[in-house]
Chain A
Amino acid sequence: MLNEPQIQRYARQLLLRDVGERGQEALGAVRVRIALGGEAASAAAAYLSAGGTQVELARPSSGPWARTPPLLGAPPVRPLDVVAAPASPEGEGIVVGSRAGGHVLWSAGGGGCPACVRSAAAALSPPGTGSGVQVGTAIALLAQRRALGVAAPLEAMEVSATGVLSTGGPPACGHCPPAVPPEELAALVRHLRTALPDEGCAVLLGGGDRVRLVPMENAQAAHHRRDPEAFPRTARTAFSLDPRAWLALLREADAAGERPVAIAHSHPEGDPGFSAEDRRWAAPDGQPLFPGVAHLVVAFGQGRPPAARWALWTDGDFREHPCPLPEET
């Protein structure tokens, strides 16, 4: 519970819907360790400190925040690291790097994928000295969102070369199931149902924070008809994408700023597990055929509602994750 001086100090913040008393306590329960220097670190420290969060600067700095330490009494329990690319935070934290003359900030934690942040951050250049105040503002905002528990597992901000601040796209994550809107999942189930009793397939394209369904045709029937020796299985027990359709889809996605985030197919009978056959198809030589693309299997068991599971290439193998489906109407 906040005491009287704390209520007075943080009055305006307490008014915010996402903050309130509990949020203010959450802001005070985080200690942000900033391993950067310069204006960005000073600006971030000023905002965070004024907001009631303790800040630890790698390089000592003087400034108004040094004279007005946070009023919250409880010792902070959650460390949050802000580091410069190509390094990346060990646990919950933010990485700041530069790209194309501007800055990129990625914030990860609570279910975010450290492995993806690590590999993406390694490809960034260290932050430059320009737009320091804007970069610091973005650091403070991302850190406060994490402290308040309103941040997505992985989120991003960008500061353009001219200092314009915007929300950005987080790095593509092949380890975490993509967020697919329920209406797209429902459309996927409807599309796969039309292929029954054959296996059906589809691709999910993502661009920005949107994911949309592209129904595909199962080319296995045609393959089997043309060359039953090379393709002994029929569309009942196998699926394949038509190479030309796949190429056209990639071109279309590229032009629209999208990329395939998942390939979905159905198991007309049985369970949604990623079968040995699925694994062979998706990683023929022990290497994923589509790096960074998730696989989604939807199973139609007799007399049961459809069920789905993700399969994501993680540390050398496919790992399965649950995929709750919306109820069919």
Chain B
Amino acid sequence: MTPDARIDITAEVCPMTFVRTKVALERLPVGGLLEVRLKGDEPVRNVPDSARDAGHTVLALEPLGDGSWRLLLRREGPGC
């Protein structure tokens, strides 16, 4: 699955990690795919949870081998 947009939040801390993710998701049309590169226990735990809470779908979360993770999200809507 090729994402429609990619963001890298490895340099961000909470709450900007999910702020970046939420804004990027909401800029996609419903059904659009967003790939997020993230790093650290807290974002890896919380960003997928927050995306789910906001009504979006977590399609994949996998380690990239260099300590960072790849999270694939699908934008659901409307109103999310």
Q: Which residues of A contact B (CB under 8 A)?
A: 1-2, 7, 11-12, 14-15, 17, 20-22
Which residue, B16, B18, B23, has most C-beta atoms of chain A within 10 A?
B23
In the assembled complex, the Cα of A22 lies from the Cα of B79 at a distance in Å of 10
User: Is the Cβ of A15 less than 8 Å from the Cβ of B26?
Assistant: no
Interface assignment of B6: CB less than 8 Å from any CB of chain A: no
B54 and A21: CB pair below 8 A? no
| A15-B16 Cα distance, complex, nearest whole Å | 9
A20, B15: Cβ atoms closer than 8 Å:
no
Flag whether B7 is at the interface (Cβ < 8 A).
Answer: no
Is the Cβ of A20 less than 8 Å from the Cβ of B19?
Answer: no
Kindly state the separation between the CA atoms of A15 and B21 in the bound complex, as whole angstroms.
10
State the interface size on chain B (CB cutoff 8 A): 11
**Which residue in chain A gives the minimum CB-CB distance to B54?**
A17
B 25-79 contacts with A by CB, 8 A: 26-27, 54
| Cβ A21 vs Cβ B27 within 8 A | yes
* B15→A11 contact, CB < 8 A: yes
**Which chain A residue has the least Cβ–Cβ distance from B23?**
A21
- Residues of chain A within 8 A of B16, CB atoms compared: 11
B40 nearest CB across to chain A (Å): 18
Residue of B nearest to A1 (CB): B27
Hey, which chain A residues are within 8 Å of B54, CB to CB?
Answer: 17
- A16-B38 Cα distance, complex, nearest whole Å: 22
> Interface on B for A, CB 8 Å cutoff?
15-16, 18-20, 22-23, 26-27, 54, 80
- From the candidates A2, A12, A17, name the one contacting B23 in the complex (CB within 8 A): A2
Which B-chain residue is minimally distant from A14 (CB atoms)?
B19
Question: Which residues from B are CB-within-8-Å of A11?
Answer: 15-16, 19
Q: Which residues on the B side are within 8 Å of A20 (C-beta)?
A: 22-23, 26
Q: B residues within 8 A CB of A14?
A: 19, 22-23
A2: which B residues are within 8 A, CB to CB?
23
Q: Cβ of A12 and Cβ of B27 under 8 Å apart?
A: no
Nearest Cβ on chain B to A171's Cβ, whole angstroms: 30
Q: How far is the CA of A11 from the CA of B16 in the complex (A)?
A: 7
User: Are the C-beta atoms of A15 and B19 separated by less than 8 Å?
Assistant: yes
Q: Tell me the bound Cα distance from A1 to B16 in angstroms.
A: 17
CA distance A15 to B51 in the complex (A): 11
Can you give 22 A-B contacts (C-beta < 8 A)?
Answer: A1-B27, A7-B19, A7-B20, A11-B15, A11-B16, A11-B19, A12-B15, A14-B19, A14-B22, A14-B23, A15-B15, A15-B18, A15-B19, A15-B22, A17-B54, A17-B80, A20-B22, A20-B23, A20-B26, A21-B23, A21-B26, A21-B27
Q: Bound complex: CA of A2 vs CA of B18, how far in Å?
A: 16
Question: CB-nearest residue of chain A relative to B50?
Answer: A15
Give CA–CA (A2, B15) in the complex, Å. Answer: 17
Most buried by B among A1, A12, A17: A17
Complex-state Cα separation, A14 to B19, whole angstroms: 7
